Structure 1
Amino acid sequence: MAVEACLAFLTGVVSEGAKSLYKPLKRQISYVFKYQSYIDGLKVQVKQLGHQRERVEIPVHQATQQGDEIYEDVADWLNSVKEFTQGAAKSITDDEDRAKKFCFKGLCPNLISRYKLSRQAAKAAEAAASLMGKGNFSNVSHRPTPKLVEHMQVKDFEAFDSRMKVFQDVMEALRDDKLNIIGVYGMGGVGKTTLVKQVAKQVMEDKWFDKVAMAEITENPDHQKIQDKLASDLGIKFELNENIFDRANRLRRVLKKEKRVLIILDNIWRELKFDEVGIPSGDVDEKDREDDQRRCTIILTSRSGDLLCNDMNCQKIFWIDALSKEEALQLFEKIVGDSTKISDFQSTANEIVEKCGGLPVALSTVANALKNKERYFWQDALNQLRRSHAREIHGMKANVYTSIKLSYDFLESAEAKPLFRLCGLYSEGHAIQVSGLLRYGVGWGLFENVYTLEEARSRVHRLIDNLKSSCLLLDGDAEDEVKMHDVIHVVAVSIAAGERMFNIPNVDDVEKKMEETIRKDPIAISLPQRDIQELPERLGCPRLQLLLLFSKRYSSMQISDLFFEGTEELKVLTLTRIPFSSLPSSLGRLINLQTLCLDWCQLEDIAAIGQLKKLEILSFRGSDIKQLPLEIGQLTRLQLLDLSNCRSLVVIAPNVISKFSRLEELYMGDSFSQWDKVEGGSNASLAELKGLSKLTTLNIQVPDAQILPQDWVSVELQSYKICIGEAWWRIWPVNSETSRLVGLHGLENVSTLLENYGTKMLLKEAEEIHLNELKGVQNVVHELDDGEGFPRLKHLSVESCSEILHIVGSVGRVRRKVFPLLVSLSLRNLNNLETICDSQLTEDQSFSNLRIIGVQSCHKLKHLFSFSIAKNLLRLQKVKVAFCHDLEMMVGKC
């Protein structure tokens, strides 16, 4: 049968002679007689294909190791090669031995097997060559586009109310197409990074943005590292030969092509040029805004609000505050576990949480350090926090101290740093008086190129704003106060100590601690709010320049006569609540002293102060002092004298005040009022004020208008609180935010006072006015104003003025503008008041800023305002009316 097949095949081959079939016929014949050549050719192709596969597999393996994704065609090619080499090619080579066998008992080769195998080998070789051609890949992989939502696990984000409010505000800002640059700021460790990571996670889950990229900037920004991180998140791969400018251009081109990209730049310390990194500035051109096709939104975090607004041009910024007490305790308990539920731990835990001041990083650090620890460990940590030794708590230095100190190190103003250290000398948790910082700073010489107190005050406020912007200070509860976060205070104390400025902690043995401090050769010592029973007999600190002693309460402590010996370099001295039977004799040796504050002290003979010829600031605020002696007049360099709240002061030697030719600020509120009517009498007279040409601030009360000299008030006054008449205890203290106040009480001839003594000028510039029991006044605006309608007045109180008919009367129906800045209006016991305003006011600014109205016992008043005025009251928030029996309606006809 096999022989017949061979003969038939050969006969068929011979019978074929057509020319057109020559090549195919030749090929068919070659399959039989050149089968070994085809097999060998296939083997060569398979071997070359193996080499090609190796050249592809090596970079594929390397790319896989780096987390890159392999291109689909590369993966398909490798699979095809694998299938080929393990399938068809292997099958053919395996069948080679069968093709070598002879048929007809070994007399004739197996031509059919050779034919089939050769043909298969030829086709397989062509397939191998085709695979070879397809395997020339220039690149086998790509960096995958990061799925931020998958790898960004925000473990530290807690959905506290304080955090959710900021989170929602930021999310809302991201919805606003008009906002391209958004800022988040807060003190170090408050949770800015955690919050913006949560924002990134949320926007990716909600598919608000196509891509999100985030890079940390750090205190020393490395543009190349920033580019690398952004490129990594965006799936961009830079070439090795690209310089930083080429990379920036490529980043910028890619970002402009994307429809919606969110870029988060975390921890900005100084101005960062977007163009140098490769980030579009956020300005969207009109076409893109109309089409809403492309938008690059940027979120920045920083500790400085000023940096975000002024240098980085954020269109909206959000402040992250510390956690509330409840939130802080909740976070602390979550970390330490059930320990706080044990009664022995509860009180300690509460105080530790309080000392951490709601700062998440501090709470987390301390809580993790105390987790699973014994009670004594907790107590030791609390003791360290009490004594401002937080760096000794495990982990605190790395996580908190260094972080906050960076904010201090990056303060641009050289003067802000010593002011920050000065704040560290105050008691933790207590308000810091801005006026105190001014007085100590001036006396210590902290401010360069400042020559007046007003200039110094402007400088202090600017530096405070700098510290607030860097989150190193907080707003206080009052206008003249700031606060320092407890954890920030711990760092401030430590930094100050490094500069030999020591805040003596509240320890049991203050005297021993004082001795230890003195041995460190200090330049500043502060004992704030301490119970001090005894001080060293002799201080002996030759380099000491500042000493602050704020006694917590009055005590029987005495200061030795020798106490200040060896401390002649002292420039600033504050002693509060000290009962002096007499001033230490060594006080007179402080010839370099420039600021002396003896506030709330019991003082008798203070003549020795007259020896301190360099004094520029002298304060006796709240002290029990009866007499200001003639010797004080020797302080000719005095710029500020504070006698506020010295209610026992009844004698000021004549011609003492007039000697203070450099005096800029004089504070005598709720104090001396025994002014002599004429110069040269037994007491000081108001005429002495006329010689104080540099006076810019005056707080004073005058019980009798008849003793006022002509033109006694200087037109140069920038700040004043002047009360004329008796019983002014009602308005001391007054609104702290107002700098110009006038009070008139119990006066009968007001017109004479206004015309002859310059009081009308004071009223015109006043921000706050109190009128009590005036006689002969029926129309406040018409009779007390000079026609301008009190343009700067913010607070007006009128009480027990029985003759007043109108606050704003109808004088010839003159249309005018009145009270454009008035915030609060208080009217009490005005028995004949008919209307608040009886004039036609066409100006929309009249009463336009009014927010609070209080009216009591004004029995003839039928309505508060007319319809024409009511339309101006767009900011009105609170109206309180009591005991006005005839009142019919709030708003009525004019």
Structure 2
Amino acid sequence: MAIEACLAFLTNCVSEGAKSLFNPITRQISDVFKYQSYIDELKVQVKQLGYKREMVQQPVNHARLQGDELYEGVTDWLHSVDEFISEGVAKSIIDDEERAKKFCFKGLCPNLMSRYKLSKQAAKAAEAAAGLVGKGNFSNVSYRPTPKSTGLNDGKDNEAFDSRMKVFQDVMEALKDDKLNIIGVYGMGGVGKTTLVKQVAKKVMEDKLIDKVVMAEVIQNPDPQKIQDKLASDLGMKFDLNDSIHHRASRLRERLKQEKRVLIILDNIWTKLELDAVGIPSGDVDEKDREDDQRRCTIILTSRSRDLLCIDMNSQKNFWIDALSKEEALQLFEKIVGDSTKISAFQSIANEIIERCGGLPVALSTVANALKTKERDFWKDALNQLRRSDAREIHGMQANVYTSIKLSHDFLESEEAKSLFRLCGLYSEGHAIQVSDLLRYGVGWGLFENVYTLEEARSRVHRLIDNLKSSCLLLDGDAEDEAKMHDVIHVVAVSIAAEKRMFNIPNVADLEKKMEETIRKDPIAISLPQRDIQELPERLQCPNLQLFLLSAEGNGRMQISDLFFEGTKELKVLSLTRIPFSSLPSSLGRLINLQTLCLDWCQLEDVAAIGQLKKLEILSFRDSDIKQLPLEIGQLTRLQLLDLSNCRSLVVIAPNLISKFSQLEELYMGDSFSQWDKVEGGSTASLAELKGLSKLTTLEIQFWDAQILPQDLVSVELQRYKICIGEAWRMWGVNSETSRMVELDGLENVSSLLENYGTKMLLKEAEEIHLNELKSVQNVAHELDDGEGFPRLKHLRVESCSEILLIVGSVGRVHCTVFPLLESLSLWFLNKLETICDSQLTEDQSFSNLRIIGVQSCHKLKHLFSFSMAKNLLRLQKVEVFVCDDLEMIVGKC
């Protein structure tokens, strides 16, 4: 008190002018001697802050127990309080209090400097503590969080597999593109679409590319209200019970607009879903909102159907998930089984089981989980069941695999597509499915409605196959006319077909017993594909059987009883492959309803009985050993397709027989009959008979002598043809996508052929031309096409033509467009070829579509392209040159 009185006295004594200088000094001196009161005040505030912290901590603890989220301000306040009380300024000041009480100058004077500093710190800290107390008045410390999208953390590590990593990265890149607002992911059931998009969802949230992810499963019979409920739940909102679906959609749309950028995943779409009706902005909104909505909202759709995504849902980019590779399948299988010793012990069984799961993660995981605790006998039994194509007997298979694939079948757009899928299930497992066979069987069985020509049927088959591929029930084959089916899909297809009384009989030891079991089920279709069969029942008693397929792969000893077809009067489609017939079964002639008969790769002698099958529309002897086509065949006046391809032993076709097939649309005689008579009505068939086939649209044929070619044969309206004029049928390397192809082989006088026998029209319309061992041709474009430039040609192969000097050339400039559609050019063993083009091309379209060129053993060729040709090669991708000794440069003069 004395010190404070003294300070007051000094202040009053000084002049008013000095007060402005003296006041700060007096405050500092005052702070020195008030330090204790400041520290006491700090202690009070720290105690108050502790009380406040306790009041806040209790509701915080309760919120955490309830799974609620703390407000960020509450979390920050608690952190600041803990730091202030326990670790920060307050603790340091209070700890320094004792040091400030000590005296200096041998105990004669207080430590004024320490007290001054401590006083200032205490005053400031007390003020800060009071501020923290005031900020701790929270009316609510937490909130109920928006539910995380269900199952987003269930995504397994797709990126562990290379095949998945690529798709994963592609989808991630697509999500970064603001121009894309609807992205599709498609693949067969069980292939891992849902797993992949969940992984994508996790990644975009981790990388902060998206602020919110919501997800709903659509299923095969979508309920818009359930979809709305799921999306609303993920967004933390609720609808009123009385809200109409339109009002819910409006509220959901407005809620989605509140997110800066949101990812919506609609999983497992089976049919068209009206996004705007649900409340999902899709771009089909008012023009002024469209750009903002698209930038704000990105949609990922998963489906088994590519067409559904592209056509019905307007997805802008689609990504296909294929089955796992063999290596990836083994990796997954081993990971689930876990016991590497067991896999090693059962390796051969494991390998086949993995192969038969077709790379489907669902199938692999289902089977692997069923086997991982089992012993060898259980593994062998599981494999046997897979071999017998009864997926439902595998533990867990029905729920996880069979059902998912069957759903794909059930949801196909038409009964025709379902029938074609079941028909594919009658093929041998793992073998290519020939599209041409599906056409022939389907037409004979009457699967296609409202089709009246083979051309219409072919279009229908291709559309249905594309539909099956889109639904991932079929895959592309190795060739254009082939399709493939995954083994697991095949297993389910066999089972589904059996439900419709269509039976694919496995290669069992006791065929007789299996056939008896099948016959008792009153089948409408039976297939014994690729079977080693020695003996069949004497009589096939199946009164409702409509389709029977048999392919023998044994040693050629199997015989079919004369009575075999007695009990199959309703049969419409019959295919017998690789059967060594000494004579056809007599009962075959009683199949009065038969419409498709295929006797491919068979040994055939007398086939006259076929003439009794008056309803026959499709008849095939492809690759068979048949010597004569008898007159009785002429009774088949309803025949639309006759296939004699590769019947190299065929030497006799009665004259005027072919002309009786007035309904014939397709005739296949490539690498077959060569004994054509020059005149009509001679000792054997003549090409002139083809002129009477007014409905012919497809022709494959070979004749050695160009002089027997009718002048007006090419006037027939052929949509597809493969015509070989010359010594050898060399249709190897034919591009399957081309429909009109001509081969000239070993001809001496080509100019006479072109002038007198109408071949120029065939060449002009051709999409593919092969020229082999021609004599007296020097300039391909000038001599074979009258300078018109082959306007439709896509593929040209010139081989061993000893006189050819160039492909395109004339005096001066070439003014017309040459080879505007040509994609590939092959030049082999042309000893005199000097250049491809020796003239100035004036048209930019010449060679403008060329992608591939291959040159081999053209020893006089000095350069590949002239400058005028090279400047048009904007699409060139591949150039292969082999053994061209004089080649100096790629681009030369002209």
TM range (shorter): 0.7 to 0.9
- Say if 1:143 and 1:237, in contact at 8 Å, map to a contact too: no
Query: Which residue of structure 2 aligns with residue 274 of structure 1?
Result: 275
Query: Which residue of structure 2 aligns with residue 394 of structure 1?
Result: 395
- Say if 1:582 and 1:606, in contact at 8 Å, map to a contact too: yes
Query: Which residue of structure 2 aligns with residue 263 of structure 1?
Result: 264
Query: Which residue of structure 2 aligns with residue 692 of structure 1?
Result: 693
Question: CA 1:783 to 1:241, structure 2 compared with 1: closer, same or farther past 3 Å?
Answer: same
Secondary structure in 1 matching 2:528? strand
Shift of 1:341: 4.6
Secondary structure in 2 matching 1:354? helix
* C-alpha distance in 2 between matches for 1:863 and 1:341: 63
Question: CA 1:764 to 1:520, structure 2 compared with 1: closer, same or farther past 3 Å?
Answer: same
Q: How does 1:427-576 map to 2 (within 5 A)?
A: 427-576=428-577
Query: Which residue of structure 1 aligns with residue 866 of structure 2?
Result: 866
Query: Which residue of structure 1 aligns with residue 723 of structure 2?
Result: 722
* C-alpha distance in 1 between matches for 2:66 and 2:274: 31
Segment of structure 1 superposing worse, 839-848 or 304-313: 839-848
- Say if 2:263 and 2:299, in contact at 8 Å, map to a contact too: yes
Shift of 1:864: 0.7
Aligned-residue CA RMSD in angstroms?
Answer: 2.6
- Say if 2:674 and 2:702, in contact at 8 Å, map to a contact too: yes
Query: Which residue of structure 2 aligns with residue 878 of structure 1?
Result: 878
Query: Which residue of structure 1 aligns with residue 329 of structure 2?
Result: 328
- Say if 1:148 and 1:201, in contact at 8 Å, map to a contact too: no
For 2:805, the aligned partner's letter is L
Query: Which residue of structure 2 aligns with residue 184 of structure 1?
Result: 185
- Say if 1:181 and 1:282, in contact at 8 Å, map to a contact too: no
What does the per-residue CA deviation read over 1:120-139, in whole Å, with 9 as the maximum and x for residues that have no partner? xxxxxxxxxxxxxx99x9x9
Alignment partner of 1:748 is 2:748: yes
What does the per-residue CA deviation read over 1:829-854, in whole Å, with 9 as the maximum and x for residues that have no partner? 22222210123223332222222222
For 2:788, the aligned partner's letter is E
- Say if 2:439 and 2:458, in contact at 8 Å, map to a contact too: yes
Query: Which residue of structure 2 aligns with residue 794 of structure 1?
Result: 794
* C-alpha distance in 2 between matches for 1:580 and 1:297: 65
What does the per-residue CA deviation read over 1:561-609, in whole Å, with 9 as the maximum and x for residues that have no partner? 0000011100000000000000000000000000000000000000111
For 2:804, the aligned partner's letter is I
Query: Which residue of structure 2 aligns with residue 887 of structure 1?
Result: 887
- Say if 1:699 and 1:720, in contact at 8 Å, map to a contact too: yes
* C-alpha distance in 1 between matches for 2:326 and 2:152: 32
* C-alpha distance in 2 between matches for 1:149 and 1:827: 62
Q: How does 1:53-452 map to 2 (within 5 A)?
A: 143-147=144-148, 152-155=153-156, 157=158, 159-282=160-283, 294-339=295-340, 341-452=342-453
Alignment partner of 1:854 is 2:840: no
Query: Which residue of structure 2 aligns with residue 611 of structure 1?
Result: 612
Segment of structure 1 superposing worse, 756-765 or 587-596: 756-765
* C-alpha distance in 2 between matches for 1:283 and 1:447: 37
Shift of 1:70: 8.5
For 1:255, the aligned partner's letter is L
Secondary structure in 2 matching 1:152? helix
Query: Which residue of structure 1 aligns with residue 842 of structure 2?
Result: 842
TM-score normalised by L of structure 1 = 0.83
Which consecutive unaligned segments of at least 5 residues does structure 1 have?
1-56, 76-133
Secondary structure in 2 matching 1:415? helix
Question: CA 1:674 to 1:66, structure 2 compared with 1: closer, same or farther past 3 Å?
Answer: farther
Query: Which residue of structure 2 aligns with residue 821 of structure 1?
Result: 821
Question: CA 1:493 to 1:342, structure 2 compared with 1: closer, same or farther past 3 Å?
Answer: closer
Question: CA 1:622 to 1:175, structure 2 compared with 1: closer, same or farther past 3 Å?
Answer: same
For 1:822, the aligned partner's letter is L
- Say if 1:149 and 1:205, in contact at 8 Å, map to a contact too: no
Query: Which residue of structure 2 aligns with residue 121 of structure 1?
Result: none
Secondary structure in 1 matching 2:671? coil
Secondary structure in 2 matching 1:178? coil
Secondary structure in 1 matching 2:219? coil
For 2:504, the aligned partner's letter is N
Question: CA 1:813 to 1:844, structure 2 compared with 1: closer, same or farther past 3 Å?
Answer: closer
Shift of 1:141: 8.2
Query: Which residue of structure 1 aligns with residue 6 of structure 2?
Result: none
* C-alpha distance in 2 between matches for 1:884 and 1:205: 58
TM-score normalised by L of structure 2 = 0.83
Question: CA 1:570 to 1:220, structure 2 compared with 1: closer, same or farther past 3 Å?
Answer: same
Query: Which residue of structure 1 aligns with residue 595 of structure 2?
Result: 594
* C-alpha distance in 2 between matches for 1:747 and 1:889: 33
Shift of 1:294: 4.7
* C-alpha distance in 2 between matches for 1:718 and 1:509: 48
Shift of 1:156: 5.9
Question: CA 1:171 to 1:350, structure 2 compared with 1: closer, same or farther past 3 Å?
Answer: same
Alignment partner of 1:633 is 2:642: no
Query: Which residue of structure 2 aligns with residue 48 of structure 1?
Result: none
For 1:881, the aligned partner's letter is V
* C-alpha distance in 1 between matches for 2:361 and 2:613: 49
Secondary structure in 2 matching 1:731? coil
* C-alpha distance in 2 between matches for 1:171 and 1:841: 47
Shift of 1:246: 1.1
For 2:388, the aligned partner's letter is R
* C-alpha distance in 2 between matches for 1:247 and 1:292: 18
Shift of 1:253: 1.0
* C-alpha distance in 1 between matches for 2:294 and 2:703: 71
Query: Which residue of structure 2 aligns with residue 770 of structure 1?
Result: 770
Question: CA 1:388 to 1:293, structure 2 compared with 1: closer, same or farther past 3 Å?
Answer: closer
What does the per-residue CA deviation read over 1:376-405, in whole Å, with 9 as the maximum and x for residues that have no partner? 001000000011011101100011111111
* C-alpha distance in 2 between matches for 1:688 and 1:154: 67
Shift of 1:870: 1.3
Which consecutive unaligned segments of at least 5 residues does structure 2 have?
1-57, 76-136
Secondary structure in 1 matching 2:160? coil
Alignment partner of 1:734 is 2:734: yes
* C-alpha distance in 2 between matches for 1:291 and 1:569: 64
- What count of residue pairs does the alignment treat as equivalent? 777
What does the per-residue CA deviation read over 1:26-57, in whole Å, with 9 as the maximum and x for residues that have no partner? xxxxxxxxxxxxxxxxxxxxxxxxxxxxxxx9
* C-alpha distance in 2 between matches for 1:742 and 1:376: 59
Same amino acid, percent of matched pairs: 86
* C-alpha distance in 1 between matches for 2:550 and 2:680: 39
Question: CA 1:290 to 1:449, structure 2 compared with 1: closer, same or farther past 3 Å?
Answer: closer
What does the per-residue CA deviation read over 1:417-450, in whole Å, with 9 as the maximum and x for residues that have no partner? 1000000000111100000000000000000110
* C-alpha distance in 2 between matches for 1:432 and 1:153: 37
- Say if 1:764 and 1:786, in contact at 8 Å, map to a contact too: no
Query: Which residue of structure 2 aligns with residue 779 of structure 1?
Result: 779
Secondary structure in 2 matching 1:440? helix
Query: Which residue of structure 1 aligns with residue 661 of structure 2?
Result: 660
Question: CA 1:697 to 1:553, structure 2 compared with 1: closer, same or farther past 3 Å?
Answer: farther
For 2:280, the aligned partner's letter is I
Question: CA 1:269 to 1:145, structure 2 compared with 1: closer, same or farther past 3 Å?
Answer: same
* C-alpha distance in 2 between matches for 1:536 and 1:676: 45
Shift of 1:146: 3.5
- Say if 2:743 and 2:769, in contact at 8 Å, map to a contact too: yes
Secondary structure in 2 matching 1:300? strand
Shift of 1:759: 1.4
- Say if 1:669 and 1:732, in contact at 8 Å, map to a contact too: no
* C-alpha distance in 2 between matches for 1:151 and 1:379: 37
Secondary structure in 2 matching 1:217? strand
Shift of 1:167: 0.2
Secondary structure in 2 matching 1:769? strand
Segment of structure 1 superposing worse, 548-557 or 264-273: 548-557
* C-alpha distance in 2 between matches for 1:181 and 1:338: 43
